[in-house]
Amino acid sequence: MLYTPYSMSFYLKMNKLINISIIWFALLASNFSSAQNASVNGVVIGGNQDNVISKPCAIIIKPTNKEINQLTKKEGGDSTQASNDNANLSVEIIKSYLDSTNTPIIEKEAKGELKFKLIDGKTYNLHLDKLYWDIFLFNGENTPIKVTAIDFEQQYINYMKIEK
C-alpha cells in the first residue's frame, strides 16, 4: 500500500509514531528522574520530592552549569577555573575519606531542596539554591551540618559520633 500525505493511512501511521515517541520520551524522563536517587550499598537515599533522607550520609553540593558560567563572566575564566579546581580537589579528598568510612554520598546540583527526617520525626528542609561547593553531613538524628575541608575528619568524628 502506498502512503501519501493525503491518505488516511499516512495520518494513522504518523499518529501511531508520534504516540510511541511520546511514550518513549516519558519513560526516558521517568528513568532520568529516578536516577536522582542515590543508592549506596543497596540503600536508596533521597531523590525526588516525595523521598526524605532519613539515613546517615554526606551531601556534596556543586554549582550548576549556569552558576559556573555566571562566575566565569564575573571573575574571568582563569580565576573561576582555579577556584573550581581547588574545590574539586577538596571534594575528592573528602570523598576518599567518606569512602573509607563507608558513608553514603549524595551529590546534588545547587538547585531545589533536600528534606531530612530527624529521629524525633521532624523534617528539616535544606535549600540548595545559594550553595556552591558545600558539604553537609547528616547523622540521621540531628539537623545536617555544613563542614569544611579543613579538619574534616575531626568534624566527621564529632558529628557522626564515631569513636576513634
Cell numbers at residue 111, please?
538547585
Residues 128/61, Cβ–Cβ less than 8 Å: yes
Cell numbers at residue 148, please?
569544611
Q: Residue 109's closest CA among 55, 149, 67?
A: 67
Q: What is the pLDDT of residue 64?
A: 82
Q: What is the pLDDT of residue 146?
A: 94
pTM of the shown model: 0.65
- Looking from the CA of 104 toward its CB, the CA atoms found within 13 Å total 19
CA dist., res. 158 & res. 51, Å (int): 27
Q: Burial, 153: exposed, middle or buried (Cβ in 10 Å; 0-12, 13-18, 19+)?
A: middle
CA dist., res. 44 & res. 61, Å (int): 18
Enumerate the domain spans of the chain.
1-35, 43-160
Mean pLDDT (10-residue bins), the chain, 164 residues: 54 48 40 40 45 90 80 70 80 93 92 91 90 89 92 93 63
Q: How far apart are the first and last CA of the chain?
A: 78
H or E element, residue 99:
helix 77-100
